[in-house]
Structure 1
Amino acid sequence: MEVKSVTKYVRISPQKLRGPVDVIKGQKVEDALNLLKFMPLKAAEIIAKALSSAVANAEHNHEMDVDDLRVKNIIVDQGPTLKRFRARARGRGARILKRSSHLTVIVDATV
């Protein structure tokens, strides 16, 4: 049975969030959390939190065994973009795009 956790409006660009995702797809949950723990990236911390939430959902809502869980899929989608500007020379302005992301973590029990 698939269990998912959705984290929305995370203030990090999807491009930066997708890096650690490829490393942990298909891993056992315990191994994935261990890998994320030692990655020196802001994205790893965000993904670990969402993965822990998915594990908690599986354990409490569906009474699944945590040791059997595996990361089935992680989807990173683009959220809304905040548009800002930075003043430039000669009265001009340069656009700054502050991107956000939506993160969906799906875990599944392997039997």
Structure 2
Amino acid sequence: MQAVLRQTRISPKKANLVAGLVRGKNVEDALAILKFTPKKGAGILAKVVKSAAANAENNFKQDKNSLFIKEIIVNEGITYKRSLPCSRGRMHPILKRNSHITVKLDAKADLKPEPKIQEKAEAETPATEEKPKPKKKSLKKS
């Protein structure tokens, strides 16, 4: 259950910063976090998470409440190279970086932990015999 967004115009460094906020979170919690994150990458990432959740619901018949983000991968895409004219007829390069964003979801297995039953020991362990204490040696010189 995944969704992929390719060649989106955001630097991978900036997209990965936002992706770190929601790795391993529940889908609903992740969308709430992204909604209130004031970064460009938050809106882009929210769309990919919604798309992955819709894919899970429609294609795999999963309940949206049981989904969590298994992994988010942000890779570098094609870099557009532009130039900025500067003094003395020179040019400075400008790199416009793109990203590939992959969101993989998984369903949580609702396994309740089994209650631990403590069994009483049938027979008590026998008491150990007391050993005689060693005699103390005096440090006085004779």
Give the C-alpha shift of residue 23 in structure 1. Answer: 1.2
Q: Distance in 1 between matches of 2:7 and 2:40?
A: 15
| Residue in 2 that maps onto 1:24 | 22
- Cα-to-partner distance string for 1:6-60 (whole Å, 9 max, x where unaligned): 0000001000101111111110000000000000011000000000000000000
Q: Which has the higher contact order (CA 8 A, sep 6+)?
A: 1
For structure 2, the residue ranges without an aligned partner over 5 or more in a row are 110-142
Tell me the amino acid that sits aligned with residue 61 of structure 1.
N
User: Percent of aligned pairs with the same residue?
Assistant: 47
Q: Distance in 2 between matches of 1:52 and 1:23?
A: 16
| Residue in 2 that maps onto 1:53 | 51
More helix per residue: 1
Q: Say which SS state the counterpart of residue 70 (structure 1) adopts.
A: strand
List 4+ stretches of structure 1 deviating above 4 A: none
Pairing 1:1-111 to 2, within 5 Å after superposition:
3-111=1-109
Give the C-alpha shift of residue 103 in structure 1. Answer: 0.1
Give the C-alpha shift of residue 81 in structure 1. Answer: 0.3
Q: Distance in 1 between matches of 2:18 and 2:98?
A: 17
Taking structure 1 as the reference length, the TM-score comes to: 0.97
Tell me the amino acid that sits aligned with residue 5 of structure 1.
A
Cα RMSD after superposing both structures = 0.4
For structure 1, the residue ranges without an aligned partner over 5 or more in a row are none
More strand per residue: 1
Q: Say which SS state the counterpart of residue 26 (structure 1) adopts.
A: coil
Q: Which has the larger radius of gyration?
A: 2
